[in-house]
Amino acid sequence: MAKLDLAAECDALAEAGAFSSDERAAVYRAIQTRRDVRSQFLPTPLPDDLVQRLLNAAHSAPSVGFMQPWNFILVRKPETRARVAQAFARANAEAAAMFEDERQAAYLRLKLEGIEQAPLSICVTCDPTRGGRVILGRTHNLRMDAYSTVCAVQNLWLAARAEGVGVGWVSIFHEDEVKACLGIPTHVQIIAWLCVGFVDRLYTEPELALKGWRQRLPLEELVFEEGWQGEGGR
Ligand SMILES: Cc1cc2c(cc1C)N(C[C@H](O)[C@H](O)[C@H](O)COP(=O)(O)O)c1[nH]c(=O)[nH]c(=O)c1N2
């Protein structure tokens, strides 16, 4: 097919299903300006209807076999958040010890959670028993339940960006300690601890990049046509 014909056909196909250009721009803007937030949270409580919209966005995520293995535990009590912050602090000290010299000093300068600062935390869990023993699409890789739950987290994160709400994902803790704080059953997995709240500003780039920890990799180094032989890590 000639190049022009192909372009015209693509335009026609896109017109049938695509968003308007403003809508498209809004989606890409949410994706590109979403940030992980740690220290910019304001104490202002989030309105219930806004929280409900975020949860609806999360619950609209794809899931393996339509399993919907997630639960969303809304944690507002300062005492609970303080206990989880302590679990973070213990694990963060262990994490720091895993880095050496300058890298350790740089790690210790980073702020990696906003558990007590953000007015709301959402603990996103994954129940591997949801929907029965055999789940369509999960028959050969049991981790698909966790991957589905991560899709829900990302939906919530993007919706929050569009609402002007900051979200910070905290993963530095021993899962059992946080499960004990919330009384989560043993068979249920914690996928994400999300700190959620209005923010006074959002960084334009990932905070870890701005603070010199690690830079974004060039996309062209990560995309290959088939026949890729693999490459060492960076
Ligand atoms: C699974 C997972 C787990 C974590 C994170 C993310 C994800 C996807 N991130 C946030 C992470 O550092 C951040 O996404 C990157 O640095 C890129 O920045 P932006 O999200 O683009 O702002 C994160 N950040 C942090 O300060 N403490 C943490 O424990 C974690 N844990």
Q: Is the pLDDT of residue 125 over 70?
A: yes
Over 70: is that where the pLDDT of 231 sits? Answer: no
26-144-142 Cα angle (round to 5) = 170
Question: Over the chain, what is the mean pLDDT?
Answer: 95
pLDDT band, residue 234 (cuts 50/70/90): low
Mean pLDDT of 179-185: 98
The reported pLDDT for the residue numbered 9 is 86
Q: What is the pLDDT of residue 188?
A: 98
Specify the pLDDT at position 232: 60
Is the model's pLDDT at 78 over the cut of 80? yes
The percent of residues above 90 in pLDDT, for the chain, comes to 88
CA 44/CA 51 separation, integer angstroms: 13
Q: What is the pLDDT of residue 94?
A: 98
Site to probe by mutation for ligand 1, drawn from 39, 169, 201, 202 as the one with most ligand atoms within 8 Å of Cβ, is 169
pTM, entire model:
0.95
- Categorize the per-residue pLDDT at 227 as very low, low, confident or very high, splitting at 50, 70 and 90: confident
Q: Does ipTM top 0.85?
A: yes
Q: How far is the CA of 169 from the centre of ligand 1 (A)?
A: 6
Q: What is the pLDDT of residues 85-117, one digit of tens each?
A: 999 999 999 999 999 999 999 999 999 999 999
Instruction: Report which protein residue has its CA nearest ligand 1's atom 26.
Output: 112
For residue 205, pLDDT beyond 80: yes
Report how far ligand 1's centroid is from the alpha carbon of 36 (Å).
Answer: 6
Q: Which of 35, 150, 171, 173 to mutate to test the pocket of ligand 1 (most atoms within 8 A of CB)?
A: 171
**Per residue in 146-172, pLDDT tens?**
999 999 999 999 999 999 999 999 999
> What does the pLDDT average to over 27-52?
97
Q: Is the pLDDT of residue 2 over 90?
A: no
The answer to whether residues 124 and 205 touch, using CB atoms and an 8 Å cutoff, is no
| Cα separation of the two ends of the chain | 40
Provide, rounded to the nearest whole percent, the portion of the chain with pLDDT above 70.
97
Mind listing the pLDDT tens digit for each residue in 22-39?
Answer: 999 999 999 999 999 999
Cβ neighbours of residue 119 closer than 8 Å, sequence gap 6 or more: 41, 43, 44, 45, 46, 76, 196, 197
Average pLDDT over residues 131-146: 98
Distance CA 161, CA 146 (A): 23
